[in-house]
Structure 1
Amino acid sequence: MNKDREIPVRIIIKKRGHAGGHHGGAWKVAFADFMTAMFALFLVLWLVNQSSDVKSAIAGYFQDPLGRADEFGSSILPGEGAQAAQVRPLSPADVIDLRRNRLTRLSEELKHELEGVPELTEVMKNVEITLTNDGLQIELLEDSIGVFFETGVPTPSARGQKAIAVLGEQLGKLPNPLRIEGHTDARPYSRSGPYGNWELSADRANAARRILTSNGVPAARIAEVRGLADRQPRDPEHPFAARNRRISILVMLGEPVVGEGELTDLAAGDSAVDAPATDVAGNRVAGASQAVTIRPIPAGALRAAAERAAANREAARAAAERARLEAPSAPDSGGHLP
């Protein structure tokens, strides 16, 4: 009877795993960990052997990525990166941009200072400050009632003196040279005699110069004082407009340059710009100038100009000598190159 019992058949399915085969990816994780550890080890060994400048640069980068790291340059050789960063000169374009940014800030400060003076609140519409290619231009524009200068008078009014004095206090903070210009409208001068718009515009510009230098602007900063009469109207379509009568003060971007042709007797001081002139009534006025264009040269400018001229001549002589030495020799004919 036991023989007749049916024995159940059990089916066993065995699945072979392939995780440990050579095509598996587990070893890659271990290898990546090993390479990371080796990279960290060699990085530490490299840092230990670097100079203190490179260490400071790396530490500074992680502390301030946009700031201190730039001071040490990009070279990993000992000392070269820091030295190159320290001696890298500013290009002319960078210098101009820095000066322009400084003048932009000055423009806002001037407007703020002028608006803070009660006596000038009503005349702020007659003050225009604009940034030009030559520098910061400040213009004191007249109107029909004479805001800063009364009609035909070379000296400024009380409000004009106050406005120019406030400008002087602010302009004295910058090293930029100044150019002062006086302008009139096209209306002929009403008084008889040789005194006209040319003299009037020059005297007004010179009066503005005196106030500026009395309120913080060094005399050496005055690069030029000019009287232009009606030759550069503010409103060319209306030559008789009151806005054409104005004082223009230009805060120049560049430094004053004195050429060899300008080495005149003006270096003696301000005597050339303080020559007597006549007032509206035709009387002589001490301290007023008859010169239309006045170019005072700062003290020491003659010596500086002479030194620059000598340096230029020496540089030209050296360049000619280098060109002579680098030129190819002449054929063997007994001749010589010039």
Structure 2
Amino acid sequence: MAAKTQPIIVIRKKSGHGGHHGGAWKVAYADFVTAMMSLFIVLWLMNSSEKVKKAVAGYFNDPRGTGTMMGTTLTGTGETVAIASSDNMQKLKQKLEEEIRAKKDLEKLSKQIEITITPEGLRIELLEDKNGTFYQSGSARLSDSGQELLELLGGELKTLPNALLIEGHTDAAQYSDDTNYSNWELSADRANSARRLLQQHGVRGNQVTQVRGYADQLLRVKTNPYDPSNRRISILVKNQDGTPAKLKGATEVTAALQTAEKSAPKK
């Protein structure tokens, strides 16, 4: 019998393409794209206005509480909220101090004019001395220096959208034996005389939201209730949104970085 022909077996080896068609590179690419997106967000925030930064940071901190805050002055679907930042208050403080120094009559009184930035806003205080500086002694009538200073302040404050609060204070010395007119009435009358002069020089009627007379209840020098500087008028330029201002820093950028980090895929 003839020998049977052996079948020929051909073994084909498939070349590997797993590295090209696998999914490992996609994870690395996704990480790269996420990192680039985070970088662009941070660069955009660093070059955006304070209003945009405030709106973005507020949304990340509390999405529901700041849902109506807009990063623009244009009317949109939500309520427009303008923010007076601590930077703006600092600029206003510097401008007022420069204008006071520029006036010779007021420059000599610079130690009796205190301008400070507080969490509530910019506080401007007119401090009396033992002879009376801004008001005639025992009266709500403004002196020449008081009128000049309030005219200057009125010209600047009228340009602001911020609300104003005016306070009157006295020292602990009893005004008189007349029970019908005391330090309470005097402090309130002095605050109102300041309000009237400010409004005569441009401050809007609805810009002054409160006028208060505290008598001697909020002493500036508690260790000496009779110190002349306890007699003072205080004008508060309130933060426009009514909330305490944040100190200048990287809060907004930090919020963006934290959000980007949370959104990045886990390896």
Give CA-to-partner distance per residue, 1:81-115, whole Å, 9 cap, x none.
xxxxxx98349xx965x432211110001111111
Aligned partner of residue 235 in structure 2, secondary structure: strand
Distance 1:153 1:66, change over 3 A: same
Distance 1:147 1:70 in 2: 45
* Greater relative contact order structure (CA < 8 Å, 6+ sep): 2
Q: Looking at CA atoms only, which structure, 1 or 2, has the larger radius of gyration?
A: 1
Q: Report what 2:160 is aligned to.
A: 174
Check whether the contact 1:134–1:252 (CA below 8 A) recurs between aligned residues: yes
Q: Runs of 5+ in structure 1 lacking a partner?
A: 1-60, 72-86, 258-338
Q: Among 72, 89, 97, which residue is 2:70 paired with?
A: 89
Matched, 1:215 2:201: yes
Distance 1:213 1:189 in 2: 28
Q: Report what 1:184 is aligned to.
A: 170
Matched residues, percent identical?
A: 41
Q: How does 1:132-143 map to 2 (within 5 A)?
A: 132-143=118-129
Q: How does 1:39-78 map to 2 (within 5 A)?
A: none
Aligned residues: 176
Q: Among 100, 121, 136, which residue is 1:114 paired with?
A: 100
TM-score (norm 1): 0.48
Distance 1:177 1:253, change over 3 A: same
TM-score (norm 2): 0.60
- After TM superposition, what 4+ stretches of structure 1 lie above 6 angstroms from structure 2? 65-71
Q: Report what 1:51 is aligned to.
A: none
Aligned partner of residue 148 in structure 2, secondary structure: helix
Distance 1:195 1:223 in 2: 25
Distance 2:240 2:163 in 1: 7
Q: Report what 2:140 is aligned to.
A: 154
Distance 1:90 1:224 in 2: 29
Distance 1:122 1:140 in 2: 13
Distance 1:227 1:183 in 2: 6
Give CA-to-partner distance per residue, 1:145-177, whole Å, 9 cap, x none.
111112211111111111111111111111000
- The residue identity in structure 2 corresponding to 1:236 is K
Aligned partner of residue 120 in structure 1, secondary structure: helix
Q: Runs of 5+ in structure 2 lacking a partner?
A: 1-39, 50-67, 73-80, 244-267
Q: Among 213, 235, 238, which residue is 1:249 paired with?
A: 235
Distance 1:168 1:204 in 2: 16
Distance 1:68 1:110, change over 3 A: closer
Distance 2:48 2:157 in 1: 33
Aligned partner of residue 166 in structure 1, secondary structure: helix
Aligned partner of residue 109 in structure 2, secondary structure: helix
Give CA-to-partner distance per residue, 1:220-264, whole Å, 9 cap, x none.
10010000000000001111100100000000003579xxxxxxx
Distance 1:238 1:69 in 2: 49
